[in-house]
Amino acid sequence: MVKAKSAYSIPGKQGKLDTHIIVVWVDNEAGVLARVVGLFSGRGYNIESLAVAEIDPKLNISRITIVTTGTPQVIEQIKLQLKKLVPVHKVADFKREDKKVIFKEMALFKIVGSQSKKESALKACKKYNAIILDKSNKSYVIQITALRREIDLMSKNLKKFGLVSVSRTGAVAMTRGAEVFK
């Protein structure tokens, strides 16, 4: 008697996971975000971050930027499945390592503490286009724009300077140079 080694329900070999940034141009209509997000949850894809806003009020187009991880096969499926949605116009896909593309996230840090701590915090943020959005005797609200891992690092490092609150966006992306994605 030969023992069955696996079954219909047992998955095959899992490939290597890559992080991709998927950009989706959609009609800005009711429920469109639910369609996109529902596709990801329904098919078991992963969303690391999400950024969405209308970019063309005249044509009613919104741009959704999704950071996701998956095997090459899964990333391919995500793109093809997204393209099937009726309100989706086009889908772009960039690898996180892609040098031709700019990725940025924004973060707001609230620092509460002595003047010297606030200044140290601001100094630490300097190389990430730091802007002070609000000042009080006790606090700063600092805005930075940077990469995900840089913001991760800053959120950790600023703790010692009195970081009490973090708010951050998902990544947005754009290609370098004169070309646009068609």
Partner 1 sequence: MSKLYSGAEIVFKCLEDQNVEFIFGYPGGAVLPIYDELKNFNSVKHILVRHEQGAGHAAEGYARSSGKPGVLLVTSGPGATNAVTALTDAYMDSVPLVCISGQVPTHLIGTDAFQECDTTGITRPCTKHNWLVKDVKDLEKTIHKAFEVATTGRPGPVLVDIPKDVQFQKTNYTKFKKQKSLNGKVNSQFTQKDIDELIKLMSKASKPIFYTGGGVINSGPKASELLRELVNTTGFPITSTLQGLGSYPGEDSQFLGMLGMHGSYEANNAMHDCDLMINIGARFDDRITGKIDEFSPKSKKVHIDIDPSSINKNVKVDLPIVGDVTEVITSTIKTIKKVKPNFAKSNKQQISKWWQQIQKWRSINSFDFVNSTETIKPQYAVQRLYELTKNKDTYITTEVGQHQMWAAQHYKFDKPNRWMTSGGLGTMGYGLPAAVGVQVAHPNKLVIDIAGEASVLMTMQEMSTAVQYSLPIKIFILNNEYMGMVRQWQELLHDKNYSESYTAALPDFVKLAEAYGCVGIRAETPGELDDKIIEMINTDRPVIFDCRVDKQENCFPMIPSGKPHNQMLLGPKDQKENKITGKGKTLV
Task: List contacts with partner 1 (CB under 8 A).
Answer: 1-10, 12-13, 30-31, 34-35, 38, 42, 73, 76-77, 80-81, 83-86
Q: Which is nearer to partner 1, 19 or 81 (CB)?
A: 81
Closest CA to 170 of 36, 79, 70, 51: 51
Min dist. Cβ of residue 53 to partner 1 (A): 22
Min dist. Cβ of residue 66 to partner 1 (A): 17
CB 117 within 8 A of CB 126: no
The torsion angles phi and psi of 116, rounded to 5 degrees, stand at: -70, -40
Min dist. Cβ of residue 88 to partner 1 (A): 9
Min dist. Cβ of residue 177 to partner 1 (A): 28
Q: Which is nearer to partner 1, 35 or 117 (CB)?
A: 35
Long-range contacts of 148-154 (CB under 8 A, 24+ apart): 148/49, 148/67, 148/103, 148/105, 151/105, 151/107, 154/107, 154/109, 154/124, 154/125, 154/128
b/e burial code for range 142-167 (CB count within 10 A of at least 16 → b): bbbbbebeebeebeeebeebbbeeee
Min dist. Cβ of residue 102 to partner 1 (A): 29
Min dist. Cβ of residue 26 to partner 1 (A): 13
Residues 6+ apart with CB under 8 A from 91: 22, 23, 24, 25, 79, 82, 83
